[in-house]
């Protein structure tokens, strides 16, 4: 079974609270707490559902049991949010690696760029995330005590949860600042050096994929435009079947262009090898110096649109400045396909 659906079904079978009960608790909670409509289920709402059912009380003193319920609430808030939309993004392997190669650069982008994520919860297939151990991860928004978060749940290849991470989206700060602050709090009671290094590497890589689908010029296409995706209108009608998943291919056109250029370059190189060798025999050392054709990695650019006087809503636009060819015959800019995805 497809790994995210396997995890979803595991919680359906073993959970003490049904999805319908979660939805009812959500409606009751929002009668007293104002939350945005685009956010389906928060961690607090999932925890509130356990209290409504009497599984945990406000006076609970068993900290281990309380921690378990808090973890389950975290997971339920992510799974329930993904369950209603079931959006999956699949990256071409080369595209995935290209984006990961940018992760070493400091993420100095304002956190507001993440508000361009097309859905409140998305599953990203990411087999190359870390030593080929993982199938992918969920990225999901949450609000806890007026603190906006982006939560990550990483799945192992066998469909089991490997790790969870969260970063606070604090307005006015960069992604790097928000990420470092919350991760240090998360590991404050541990020997943080090794854990923090691993977490930063993984979170930085995951953010590269998230940022790409936030970009205005992202190359995203429907993976199966001829297939009719079933989208139930009511919670009770959701069956958690693969036919309910909307799947998107990312980077196909970009990678196709790279492959075509490499193929053309290799053909040209073979034909000109003898001529270059003959020229090198009579050329000076400076003339013989040759930079191997390669691709310079991409980077992010962002800018605000909208009037500053408050007469219209301002938003932060993100664009991926794709790689460029260095010392090659190909163009120094690759066209990308812009796809509008309705929220």
Question: How would DSSP label each residue in 145-210?
Answer: TTEEEEEEEEEETTS-EEEEEEEE--TTSBHHHHHHHHHHHHTTTS-HHHHHHHHHHHHHHHHHHH
Q: Give the SS3 label for residue 129.
A: coil
Q: Give the SS3 label for residue 312.
A: coil
The pLDDT-based confidence of 258 (bands split at 50, 70, 90) is confident
**Residue-level length of the chain:** 343
- pLDDT digits 0-9 by tens, 8-23: 999 988 888 999 999 9
Q: What was the pLDDT predicted at 232?
A: 86
63-83 and 19-29 helices, crossing angle to 10°: 100
What is the spatial distance between Cα 326 and Cα 307, in angstroms, rounded to a whole number?
38
What is the spatial distance between Cα 8 and Cα 13, in angstroms, rounded to a whole number?
9
Query: Which residues does 158 contact at the CB level (< 8 Å), separation at least 6?
Result: 3
Q: Give the SS3 label for residue 86.
A: coil
Q: What was the pLDDT predicted at 332?
A: 41
The pLDDT-based confidence of 260 (bands split at 50, 70, 90) is confident
Rg (CA), the chain: 24
Asked if pLDDT for residue 281 goes beyond 60, the answer is: no
Q: Determine which helix (DSSP H) or strand (DSSP E) holds 283, and give its type and residue range.
A: none
* Angle 93-98-99 from CA coordinates, rounded to 5°: 100
Q: What was the pLDDT predicted at 95?
A: 94
End-to-end CA separation in angstroms for the chain: 27
Long-range contacts of 26-33 (CB under 8 A, 24+ apart): 28/52
For residues 190-215, give the mean pLDDT: 81
Q: What six digits make up the tokens of 271? A: 């034909």
Question: What values do phi and psi take at 136, rounded to 5?
Answer: 175, -165
Question: How would DSSP label each residue in 110-128?
Answer: BGGGGGG-SSSEEEEE-TT
What is the spatial distance between Cα 2 and Cα 226, in angstroms, rounded to a whole number?
20
Q: Give the SS3 label for residue 237.
A: helix
Query: Which residues does 145 contact at the CB level (< 8 Å), separation at least 6?
Result: 44
What is the spatial distance between Cα 240 and Cα 249, in angstroms, rounded to a whole number?
21
Q: Give the SS3 label for residue 246.
A: strand
- pLDDT digits 0-9 by tens, 144-195: 988 999 999 999 998 888 889 888 899 889 988 887 776 666 666 555 555 6
For residues 77-82, give the mean pLDDT: 97
Query: Which residues does 176 contact at the CB level (< 8 Å), separation at least 6?
Result: 106, 107, 108
Distances in Å between the Cα of 29 and the Cα atoms of 80, 120, 132, 216 are: 16, 19, 40, 35
What is the spatial distance between Cα 142 and Cα 50, in angstroms, rounded to a whole number?
18
Strand pairing class (246-250; 87-91): parallel
Percentage of the chain exceeding pLDDT 70: 79
Query: Which residues does 156 contact at the CB level (< 8 Å), separation at least 6?
Result: 133, 134, 135, 162
Q: What was the pLDDT predicted at 295?
A: 57
Q: What six digits make up the tokens of 179? A: 């990420």
Question: What values do phi and psi take at 118, rounded to 5?
Answer: -65, -20
Confidence (pTM): 0.84
């Amino acid at each position: 079974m497809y790994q995210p659906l396997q995890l979803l079904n595991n919680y359906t079978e073993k959970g003490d609270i049904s999805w319908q009960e979660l939805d009812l608790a959500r409606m009751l909670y929002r009668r007293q707490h104002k939350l945005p409509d685009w956010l389906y289920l928060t961690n607090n709402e999932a925890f509130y559902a356990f209290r409504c059912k009497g599984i945990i009380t406000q006076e609970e003193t068993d900290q281990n049991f309380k921690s378990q319920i808090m973890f389950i609430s975290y997971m339920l808030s992510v799974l329930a949010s993904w369950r209603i939309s079931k959006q999956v993004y699949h990256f071409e392997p080369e595209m995935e690696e290209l984006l990961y190669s940018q992760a070493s650069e400091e993420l100095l982008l304002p956190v507001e760029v993440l508000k361009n994520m097309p859905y409140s919860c998305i599953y990203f297939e990411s087999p190359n995330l870390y030593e080929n151990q993982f199938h992918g991860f969920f990225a999901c928004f949450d609000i806890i005590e007026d603190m906006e978060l982006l939560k990550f749940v990483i799945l192992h290849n066998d469909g089991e949860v490997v790790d969870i991470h969260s970063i606070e989206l604090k307005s006015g700060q960069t992604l790097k600042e928000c990420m470092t602050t919350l991760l240090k709090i998360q590991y404050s009671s541990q020997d943080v050096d090794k854990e923090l290094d691993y977490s930063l590497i993984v979170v930085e890589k995951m953010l590269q994929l998230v940022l790409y689908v936030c970009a205005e010029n992202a190359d995203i296409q429907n993976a199966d435009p001829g297939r009719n995706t079933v989208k139930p209108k009511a919670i009770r009608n959701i069956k958690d079947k693969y036919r309910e998943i909307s799947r998107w291919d990312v980077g196909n056109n970009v990678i196709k262009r790279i492959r075509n250029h490499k193929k053309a370059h290799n053909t040209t190189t073979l034909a000109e090898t003898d001529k270059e060798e003959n020229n090198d025999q009579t050329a000076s050392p400076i003339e013989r110096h040759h930079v191997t054709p390669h691709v310079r990695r991409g980077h992010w650019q962002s800018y605000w649109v909208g009037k500053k006087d408050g007469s219209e809503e301002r938003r932060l636009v993100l664009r991926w400045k794709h790689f460029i060819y260095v010392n090659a015959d190909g163009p120094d800019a690759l066209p990308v396909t812009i796809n509008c995805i309705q929220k």
